[in-house]
Each structure stands twice: as C-alpha cells, then as structure tokens.
Structure 1
Amino acid sequence: MSQVAIVTGAARGVGLAIAQRLGSAGRTVYMLDVLEADLREAAGKLGHDGIQAIPMAIDLASQEQIADLPKRIGQCFEDVSILVNNAGIAPIASDGKPILGPEIALEQWERVLTINLTAPFRLMQICIPAMRRRGWGRIINISSRAGRSPGGSSGADYVTSKSGLLGLTRAFAHDVAASGITVNSIAPGRIDTPMGMSSSEDLLRLVRAKIPVARIGQPEEVAALVAFLAGEESGFITGAVIDINGGALMI
C-alpha cells in the first residue's frame, strides 16, 4: 500500500526532521510551509538522499489555500494516509518575552488560533475522507508542553491554541476510530529548533536547569515518536497525548 504523508511546517526544525524520517521509510512526503525558499532548499536536500519530497508553499492562515490543497496535490491526494500537523507560531515581544494575555492584540490572538488550531482542524477534515476510503490513516498533531501546563515562555494565545489542539485530537480520535484512523498528539518540551532556541541565553539556562535529563531535546527525537505513531504497530493507540520533554513535566 503506497503511502503519502503531509507534514506542515516542514521547512526546518521538527517538521523537517519528521519529513526526513517518514520519507526515509519510503513514504512520499508533501512538505508544506510558508517559508518558500527554505522549503525548496530542504526538499532538495532530501531529494538528494533519495527521499520523494515535494515542497508546497502554503499560508495556513488562508482558508482558501487550505481548501485548494487536494487540487494542488492532484491524484496522489487519494493516497494520503498520514497527516502531521506540526506548523505553529508563538509571537513574542521584542525583548524575547511572551506577550501576556492582557496585552495580546485581538489580531495576534486570531492569527495564532487560526494557524495553530483552525488549520489542523481543516486539514483533518480534508484528509479524513481519503483515509476512510482506504480504511487506514494516521494523524499526529504536534501540541506542546505549554498545552499541558501554562507558564514558561509561552503566551496565552499559544497556550490556548495548543491546549485546544489536545481537545481537538480527542474529539476526532473518537469520531474516526471505527474507520481505521488513529489521531494522537505529541507534546514536546523545549526542542533545539529556531523557535525553541529564540529565547535569551539566560532563559535557556533556566530551562535546562529544570529538565531532569539536563539537556534540550532534538528534532530527531520528536520525529522518531511521530514515525512510531504513523506506523502499523501503533494501531491500538488513539486519542492519546504523549509527552516528550526530558521529564520537565510529569503528569
């Protein structure tokens, strides 16, 4: 059974590591991102490694562009069996600190919720019919430790979007389980990515000090977990949230 995977936010960081891991296992990977130049460069490097990686520039804040995705992918859209909703934004102030709830502008709030929560909702709606026809599908939503417990360097908009993604995961998992589709969330802690390392060095030192394994996570570690949830062996896991944070949050 040929498998096509869609990975959002795939130009760099965790999304790129996920695309590489899924592609290395023989899947055709559609890499979605708004960073078109970075995306094409990343897909080109994966292609040199023998991975079938197709870059597709998209602004997940645009409902029209999301709705047009099946047409852009074409006939291969019927083979979509893996969806990884990884893309997300976390606006911070000029001093690198989170913008606290009382100071968040409505425009920022709506943009964060649109990209981090509404876009995954719409992509799941769009991809599930093809998965149902195949009788098999894997959806993995990348939430965050911030969605499990607020605080740290995350603003209220980001926390709310990632908490909502956990609820959305459970709701969809319940609704599509009988169709052979699983829907799960991963909640990473601090990961070595451009977003994860954008805080000040002082804050990063504090973060490391609070992680029991005494280091920051790597994108490849998240990708390995995604690969497991995207495989056959994970078929009895659905509606779950799996923490990957070095022990920084134990629930």
Structure 2
Amino acid sequence: MGRVRELLRGAWRTAVPEPGDRHGPLPPLLLALTVLSGMIDAVSYLMLGQVFVANMTGNVVFLGFALAGAPGFSVTTSLVALLAFVAGAFLGGRLLAPVTHRGRALLHAVLVETVLLGAAALLVALFPVSPGSTDSSRDLATAVLALAMGVQNAMVAVVAVPDLTTTVVTRTITAAFADTGRTGRLEQRAGRRLLSVLTLAAGALVGATLVLHASQGAALGVPAALALVAGLAAVRPARADAPWTARDRGRA
C-alpha cells in the first residue's frame, strides 16, 4: 500500500507542484502539451493518412513501410512530416537559444505552436483533406503540424523537466519499470513517468474522438484552443523571478 501511495504522490506532485519545486509550474504545463501531442498525432494518423507529426520514431518506421510498398503508407507524406519536424526543431532551437528563462522559453514556443495549429485548422476547414488522396492540402497540413511539433520538442529540450518529454514514451515506460526492477519498489518518479504516458494516451483518445465525430476544422481547432490556453497559463510563469526559471535547473 505504501508503494502505491508513493506512486500516486509522484503523479500528484507532477500535476500540482509544491511551492519551491525545482521545476516550478512547468510540469503541469508540459502535461497539457503531452495531451496536445496525443491529440495531434491521432488527428494526423487518422485524418491525414497514416502519418505521425509528433512521434518521429513511428514516422521513420512508416517511411520504411512505404518504401517497401505497404498499402496505405506514403513516402512523400512521411518525408514531408520528417523534414517539417526537423525544420521546426531547428527553428525552435534558433528562437530559444538566447532565452535563459525556462518559463519564457515555454511561452515563446507555445505561442508559435498556437499560431501554426490555428493555421492548420483553418487550412483543413477551407480545404478538407482525404486520407487516401495525394492532394497538396493534406501535405501542407502535415507540414504545418510537424513544424509545430518540432518547435515544441525543441522547447522541451530547453526547459528539461525530467520524464516529461511530451512525445517520447518508450524510454519513459522503460525507465519507470527498469528502476522498479532494480530497486524492488515503486517511487514517486515512477508516478510522474506513468502520468506522462497516461496523458499522452488521453490526448490520443480525445483526438481520435474528434476525428471520428467532429469536422476536420474542429479536430484541429480544439488542439489549437488547448495550445492557446496553455500559452495563457504560461504568461505568469514567464514573468516569474525564482530559482526554477534558470535553464541549468532543468539538468537534474
């Protein structure tokens, strides 16, 4: 029972950090962006045609499928997503390089992401896409979404909150259970890791529901709205003057 309590405490302290936490209010904001990542990848896979724009590991695998001639996968679409993600990561790196305040880094990235997601929502609302087609609107929407996710991942590297990557969960799951296997007990950090996995899954559930039961514009409009809310929530942390704001605080 005590082990489960530690697990739950770790999850709770991630969602609701204690005063003086070494990462300040960043963990819950990154959890919100993890939900966003799940939503966006669900939308891209189900609506844009078997492609991921946030999870590049899966996308590289899909590229291999496409090159082998597997039905339903597109070399062009996979490459568009990969190249746009790389461009977004590069753009995020350039944009955030001079920013030493972790809260401001998050705010700047989320504002860019909100604009890009809004543009993608407007694009598919005006020019609906078909997953099985090769139309330019689908590839353009894929590129804009992947660009946004590249920026987000560049920001995650800058703020550097352990176990909250917003997209990559394979290593997170491995770390949670490998550490438990080594120590023989559940720790608070495992709670943070598992919460990250659950929020990504929750985002995928919401995104899939939007694709299946709402319009294409709404399927991307809701994530854009979530990004805007996250940006508004990041305004106050961006003005904070506390130890957690320094970039070197994210290295432990």
- Length-normalised TM-score, structure 2: 0.31
Higher helix share: 2
Higher strand share: 1
Which has the bigger relative contact order, CA under 8 A and spacing at least 6? 2
- Length-normalised TM-score, structure 1: 0.31
Structure of higher CA gyration radius: 2
